[in-house]
Amino acid sequence: MKKILLSSFIAITTLVFSLTACAQARFIEGEHYKVISQTASAKPNVKEFFSFWCPHCFNFEPLVAQMKNKLDANVTFEKVHVNFMGFAGRELQDEVTRGMLIGRVLKNEQALNTAIFNYIHRQRATIASTDDVRSIFLVNGVSAEEFDKTAKSFAVKNMLRKNNKTIDEFRRFVSGVPNFIVNDKYQATFTRDMTPDDMVDLIVYLSEMK
């Protein structure tokens, strides 16, 4: 019995090392990712820098969902909405960021993010003011009172400051979107020959690195 257990343990260990070696062979520093810091974050995390106006970010949403499903439970995934793209003015971009954070506070971020994306890219509608964001939320089940109260809350104001502080912290590395920073140390680079599965696996791989 002990021999069987030992053999099983050796087989599992060999498989784990084999898979790790395979991942290391697939993903090469300087080609598939960059090291942007000497130290990693205390807790594993993935930051997706994106813009609701960005068509590539919109098309990336299915891959983002796959990433979240494949990441270990202890890895935090955070969307960071940027305010430096040329799609709209800084103030309006911040107001749409506020919308994202309202959804986060209301525990309905994914559905409301999808509604904003669809409004811009499927309905081909224009967000020109906070009222447009408010209207999107009202159509998607958020009451006017709930939206207004949450928009003015300390939690949302604090989260908006944190979102923009994160942008400032990584701005020299993030010139376009979508962009992924993992463990505050690695920046993913998606090459033309990578499949969607490769992209997902790269993020998972980097999340396991120190």
Task: List the structure tokens of 120.
Answer: 């811009």
Per-residue model confidence (pLDDT) at position 87: 85
Same-domain check for residues 77 and 138: no
Strands of 51-173, DSSP E: 76-81
Same-domain check for residues 140 and 194: no
pLDDT below 70 — which residues of the chain? Answer: 1-24
Same-domain check for residues 77 and 95: no
- Give the angle 141-160-130 at the CA atoms, nearest 5°: 50
Per-residue model confidence (pLDDT) at position 25: 72
The residues with which 183 forms a beta bridge, in sequence order, are none
Strands of the chain, DSSP E: 33-35, 45-50, 76-81, 179-182, 186-188
Q: How far apart are CA 129 and CA 15, in angstroms?
A: 54
Q: How far apart are CA 112 and CA 100, in angstroms?
A: 7
Same-domain check for residues 9 and 75: yes
Per-residue model confidence (pLDDT) at position 26: 87
- 3-37: b (≥16 Cβ within 10 Å) or e: eeeeeeeeeeeeeeeeeeeebeeebeeeebbeeee
* 154 contact partners, CB below 8 Å, separation of at least 6: none
Task: List the structure tokens of 161.
Answer: 């400051």
In a domain, 168, yes or no: no
Q: Which domain holds residue 29?
A: 1-82+174-210
What is the number of structural domains in the chain? Answer: 2
Question: Tens digit of pLDDT for each residue in 167-184?
Answer: 999 999 999 999 999 999
pTM of the model: 0.87
